[in-house]
Structure 1
Amino acid sequence: MIELLSSAIFVFFVVMDPVGVLPVFIGLTQGFTSAQRRYIAIKGCIVAGIVLGLFAYFGNWFLTALGISLSAFRIAGGALLFLIAVEMLFERRTARKSAVAGEAVSRTHEEAQDIAVFPLAIPLLAGPGALTSMLLLMGRAPGIGAQALVLLACAINMALVLILLISGEAIARKLGRTLINTISRVLGLMLAALAIQFIVDGILEVAGRV
């Protein structure tokens, strides 16, 4: 159980990438008051948490309706996580997030008001990587107790993201751009290894049924 909880916390931390989201959030909220930034951060984390929670219990049903096996999704999900890891290693992910943020800001004032939902909650926090990880981890969790640990790991990460976003400017000034990039690359390397493990597990499951 402890291994599952620690693994889930790490996976969610890497795919949500709060360190990478932080500078994007700061750019998105320029010109907002401290109270408005807190509101955006809190609402974004709540919405992302709800989306991930729903996908945890209904994502499998959705795959079944489409005729997709969990093993196939595990292989595809591992491949997706590997691509995310490559982006993190070569700093492409931060550039993509900034582009998404810029797209939201370039819209009308009314559309940009609710940036807590787009792009903060979706796709920056509850993006494809986080949704895939949620489904894969829930699939590996035997029983209600283990599934509760996966949800707890997600909640812990959401709380951490919220703390980082609320104190974003102060943290960014202290860490500096170089350290943020270094942390992102180390996490990307570890995520790549974990993604390969997901792919291997999926292949072994398919081979076991043949």
Structure 2
Amino acid sequence: MYELFLSAFVTLFVVIDPPGCAPIYAGLSAGASRAQAVSMAARACVVAAIILVVFALFGKALLNALHIELDAFRIAGGIMLFMIAIDMVFEKRTQRREERAEKIKATPEVEDVSIFPMAMPMLAGPGSIATMMLLTSRAHGTSQTLTILAAMVSVMLLAFAALAAAGPLMKVLGDKVEAVITRLLGVLLAALAAQYVIDGVKATLLP
């Protein structure tokens, strides 16, 4: 179970990318008080966790209702994760996040950013949803499913810590260190995404 927990934890950490979300949240919550920023961070992580749990438990039933094979979703999910990895390596993902953040800041009536864009799509985006469905699809029994959910909760706790300390953290790290971390995570995610595609192709061609 430890190996499964570690594998799920690393995969979700790379996809959700708490260090990459921290600077964006710091910008979005710049006008909020310390208590408000922490409160919004907590709300964002709770809502994102609920979204991921729902897709982890009922995503397969949804695919069946749409007559989509799990292996097809595994391949599509791997391709999507690979595209996210490329964006991370070349900093396109960060650029899109910053542009999204600027749009939110430019709308004066929007004050609470916990649900959008933090909970979704930044924390519980297409990549993390696909990852949860892929991980739980390979789980055998309730214990393994709970292990994966525990890994997700652990990542969300780290995400909350990163968001809650976003302002002070970015002052310490700086933009250059954050960019290096994001690129390293992108390379790792690319390898994991390729493995998803390989597994899906193998399962399709060699049933």
1:108 Cα offset (Å): 4.3
The match for 1:8 is 8
Distance in 1 (CA, whole Å) between partners of 2:71 and 2:197 is: 9
Distance in 1 (CA, whole Å) between partners of 2:148 and 2:102 is: 33
Distance in 2 (CA, whole Å) between partners of 1:117 and 1:104 is: 12
| SS at structure 1 position matched to 2:206 | helix
1:86 Cα offset (Å): 0.4
Structure-to-structure mapping, 1:111-190, within 5 angstroms? 112-190=110-188
The match for 2:22 is 22
Distance in 1 (CA, whole Å) between partners of 2:50 and 2:112 is: 17
Instruction: Kindly provide the amino acid, as one letter, of the partner of residue 198 in structure 1.
Output: Y
Distance in 1 (CA, whole Å) between partners of 2:179 and 2:127 is: 19
Distance in 2 (CA, whole Å) between partners of 1:16 and 1:103 is: 21
| CA deviation string 1:183-206 (max 9, x = no partner) | 111111011001000000000110
1:86 and 2:86 are equivalent in the alignment: yes
Distance in 1 (CA, whole Å) between partners of 2:167 and 2:102 is: 19
- For structure 1, the 5+ residue unaligned runs are none
Runs of 4+ in structure 1 deviating by more than 6 angstroms, as ranges, are none
> Pick from 190, 193, 200: which aligns with 2:191?
193
Distance in 2 (CA, whole Å) between partners of 1:96 and 1:156 is: 26
| SS at structure 1 position matched to 2:30 | coil
Number of aligned residue pairs: give it.
207
Structure-to-structure mapping, 1:52-131, within 5 angstroms? 52-109=52-109, 112-131=110-129
Distance in 2 (CA, whole Å) between partners of 1:63 and 1:28 is: 35
Distance in 2 (CA, whole Å) between partners of 1:107 and 1:68 is: 39
Distance in 1 (CA, whole Å) between partners of 2:157 and 2:34 is: 18
Distance in 2 (CA, whole Å) between partners of 1:105 and 1:148 is: 38
The match for 1:42 is 42
Distance in 2 (CA, whole Å) between partners of 1:31 and 1:184 is: 26
Distance in 2 (CA, whole Å) between partners of 1:163 and 1:46 is: 13
TM-score by length of 1: 0.96
Distance in 2 (CA, whole Å) between partners of 1:170 and 1:104 is: 22
1:84 Cα offset (Å): 0.5
Distance in 2 (CA, whole Å) between partners of 1:137 and 1:104 is: 32
1:41 Cα offset (Å): 0.2
Instruction: Kindly provide the amino acid, as one letter, of the partner of residue 150 in structure 1.
Output: I
Q: Using the aligned pairs only, state the percent identity.
A: 41
Over the residues paired in the alignment, what is the CA RMSD in angstroms? 0.9
- For structure 2, the 5+ residue unaligned runs are none
| SS at structure 2 position matched to 1:32 | coil
| SS at structure 1 position matched to 2:68 | coil
| SS at structure 1 position matched to 2:175 | helix
Instruction: Kindly provide the amino acid, as one letter, of the partner of residue 10 in structure 1.
Output: V
Distance in 2 (CA, whole Å) between partners of 1:100 and 1:66 is: 31
1:107 Cα offset (Å): 2.6
Instruction: Kindly provide the amino acid, as one letter, of the partner of residue 182 in structure 2.
Output: S
Instruction: Kindly provide the amino acid, as one letter, of the partner of residue 69 in structure 2.
Output: S
